[in-house]
Structure 1
Amino acid sequence: MSVSAQIGFLVVLALLAANLPFANQRIFLVGPQRSSKPLHWRLAEMVVLYFVVGGIGLALENHSGQIAPQGWEFYAVTGTMFVTLAFPGFVYRYLMHRKH
């Protein structure tokens, strides 16, 4: 897989992972079905999924060559990007979703 394809795959994976906590009512996809999952559980899931996607990105980077050293700036930017990618799910769950 080319580096461009790996980057595209990682961005799509991050988009899906960032919105996954807002798309279901189960805690970490295996917990019991709930009528409404609290926001703190959704945020905890986002943090875990951020590190899962980061680990996959680290594995892809290791597979394609040398791993570049990362400072705190990298994690600040990627964390902010992950939260920004979660915006559609947040809007759907809290601003547009209407219970009948």
Structure 2
Amino acid sequence: MTPTQQDDVPASVTVPKVLRTRKQLQAAAVSELALLHANWKRAIPGAQLRWPKLDPVELAQARGNMHRLAGLVQLRYQLTREQADQQVAEFLAVPV
């Protein structure tokens, strides 16, 4: 609805919200997680170029988890947690 259309709608009329059941929310979360893992598999070669000290098996086990990856980067490159978080966030294009 545009702002002008909202003015024309009586106050007694309510716009229904999209309600989701618990199972629908769980299915959506599982789907998003599967997409994250699929995208991560494609990102592993780029991560290996970015951090050559990280083993491909370790990268695969991180499964796209930003915190696990930052922990690996921190350990291998002797960085502070903030520096590791920043590098991983830049790589994943996630705002810190």
Report which of the two structures shows the higher radius of gyration computed on alpha carbons.
2
Higher relative contact order (CA 8 A, sep 6+): 1
Does the alignment reach a TM-score above 0.5? no
TM range (shorter): 0.3 to 0.5
